Amino acid sequence: MATVLKQPPAATLERLKTAIGAKGWTADPAEMSPHLLEERGHYRGRAALLLRPATTAEVAAAVRICAETGTAIVPQGGNTGMMGGATPFEHGNEILLSLSRLNRIRALDPLNYTLTAEAGCILANLQKAADDADRLFPLSLGAEGTCQIGGNLSTNAGGVQVLRYGMARDLVLGLEVVLPDGQVIEGLRGLRKDNTGYDLKQLFLGAEGTLGVITAAVLKLFPRPREVETAFVAVRDPAAAIELLARTRSGTGDAVTAFELISRTALDMVLTHIPGTADPLSAKHEWYALIDCSSGDSGGGLREAVERTLADAMEAGLVIDATLAASAQQGKAMWRLRDSITEAQKPEGGSIKHDVSVPVSSVPAFIAEASAAVARAIPGIRPVAFGHVGDGHIHFNVSQPAGEPKQGAPRDAYLARWGEINRIVHDIVARLNGSISAEHGIGRRKVDELAHYKSPVEIELMRTLKRTLDPKNIMNPGKVVVP
């Protein structure tokens, strides 16, 4: 199938403008500019037009015109994705379709524990709406003030509470989708039981806009926790952290909502570069776990259970030192250390990123093998391992050697080895039966890596699905899988 590359003729652009109305489009370069730059600055694209439809009917009308004329569409949410999926290509022949005006909460049903929201709703606004109704919408990630639920679902976003509540995919009961020919699947059903054949909504979750445009979703809500306990724990090593995770799950009645691993290298960078941060423990240690447990009961039993688990783990030699937050504010300060790691890595020069997962029990082996392998390739390289190890997910970001200048040619030369280092790390991930993309998706950046590591049977099936649903290849072409 040929990729759509031709410039949309003026007549097509006029039809699209008319279909959406004056408020719903712009071709102004200044207004379009922020939409054309990828979050990390890796890609700057161009687009023939930026459309901002405000209703599902307008999205469908625009997609129908694009289908008739063979015009490629790039759906865009909050543009915080890290794989270049929401950025149009440099040739400028695509239409950018922003969902930002499709941003109404259509319903909140506290008894059914569901919230029905349009794709352009900002994630933090949905969390607040749930909270106002004494419910929890648990999807939570660093970009929650900007990213949109349509983007979260299209990337199957993860975040910090996956261990307890699952990925974005697990939080969806129903979906409304505009197909690549402009037809609408009206699947906004809030059912926990619906065994009527293929679960079609799953096709669009995590598809990164390559199979259709998500316009609304029915999302699962949960009881709001009454007690949250946060602990900052120095552990003997990553193996001890994984053992502690298992013990904390059993010891608290599976109340663990987040379990993050932080290396000393990562913490040192935060303490050096992020103002107002302090080490929660008095001595330095090589590895830490940041643990959140939550319970619907406010009787204090959870704190006792966490304390008991940590004391037992200390006796067993897994934990060296630990502190439990005395207030919500202290808990926030602990989380700030974790959330600032990526920012703190920036002044340390080039950083080659890996967003990978392995079975939880294989995390220690992965960290040991990957750290040794990258050090053999580039002596002095600094692995900054951290992340949601409760889900077997490690952000294995490797900073350039400490002694080198952090800018200019040395940094460029280091970053030029991105592909080589990725291959070394991804080979280890594959050997441990892991994934080369734990939560950020494939986008444009990992298309070749996906083709390299997925089995030929799976890749061919993905291509078949793409060709079947999008025979004209107009939905975000060149992303995820090339048909």
Ligand X SMILES: Cc1cc2nc3c(=O)[nH]c(=O)nc-3n(C[C@H](O)[C@H](O)[C@H](O)COP(=O)(O)OP(=O)(O)OC[C@H]3O[C@@H](n4cnc5c(N)ncnc54)[C@H](O)[C@@H]3O)c2cc1C
User: Which residues, listed in sequence order, are joined to residue 260 by a DSSP beta bridge?
Assistant: 290
Q: Which is nearer to ligand X, 215 or 294 (CB)?
A: 215
Tokens of 367: 């960290």
For the bound state, the minimum distance from the C-beta of residue 120 to ligand X, rounded and expressed in Å, comes to: 7
Stretch that binds ligand X, among 47-55, 64-72, 77-85, 362-370 (CB under 6 A): 77-85
Give the nearer residue to ligand X in terms of CB position, either 79 or 263: 79
Name the residue with tokens 């070749």: 448
Structure tokens at 97: 């379709």
Among the listed ranges 1-9, 136-144, 371-379, 452-460, the one in contact with ligand X (CB under 6 A) is 136-144
Among 261-269, 375-383, 425-433, 438-446, which window interacts with ligand X (CB under 6 A)? 438-446
Q: Measured from the CB of residue 154, what is the shortest distance to ligand X in angstroms?
A: 3
Between the alpha carbon of residue 220 and those of residues 167, 185, 211, 425, the distances in Å are 12, 19, 23, 35
Q: Give the nearest distance from C-beta 156 to ligand X in angstroms.
A: 8
How many CB atoms neighbour CB 101 within 10 A? 17
The nearer residue to ligand X, 160 or 306, going by C-beta atoms, is 160
Rg from Cα positions in the chain? 23
Tokens of 339: 């959330």
119 binds ligand X (CB under 6 A): yes
Structure tokens at 220: 């699962």
Q: Does 187 bind ligand X (CB under 6 A)?
A: no
Looking at residue 269, its amino acid is M
164 vs 479, beta carbon nearer ligand X: 479
**Distance between CA atoms of residues 131 and 142, nearest Å:** 18
260 binds ligand X (CB under 6 A): no
Contact flag: residue 243 with ligand X (CB under 6 A): no
Containing 55, the helix (H) or strand (E) segment is none
Q: How far is the CB of 130 from ligand X (least distance, A)?
A: 17
Question: Is position 39 an interface residue for ligand X (rule: CB under 6 A)?
Answer: yes
> Which residue number, 162 or 242, has a Cβ lying nearer to ligand X?
162
> 174, 154, 178: which is closest to 79 by C-alpha?
154
Pattern 142-171, binding to ligand X, x per CB under 6 A? xx---xx-xxx-xx-xxx------------
Q: Are 277 and 337 in contact (CB under 8 A)?
A: yes
Instruction: Closer to ligand X by CB, 67 or 86: give it.
Output: 86
Indicate which single residue of 19, 49, 61, 74 sits in contact with ligand X (rule: CB under 6 A). 74
Question: Does residue 153 contact residue 168 with C-beta atoms inside 8 Å?
Answer: yes
C-alpha triplet 149, 155, 156: angle, nearest 5° = 80
Residue with Cβ nearer ligand X (120 or 251): 120
Q: Which residue is nearest to ligand X (CB)?
A: 151
Rounded to a whole number of angstroms, the minimum distance from the CB of residue 83 to ligand X is: 7
Which among 166, 126, 136 has a CA at the least distance from the CA of 439?
A: 166
**Distance separating alpha carbons of residues 371 and 231, to the nearest angstrom:** 27
Q: Which residues bind ligand X (CB under 6 A)?
A: 39, 74-82, 85-86, 99, 119, 141-143, 147-148, 150-152, 154-155, 157-159, 208-209, 213-214, 439-440, 443, 476, 479
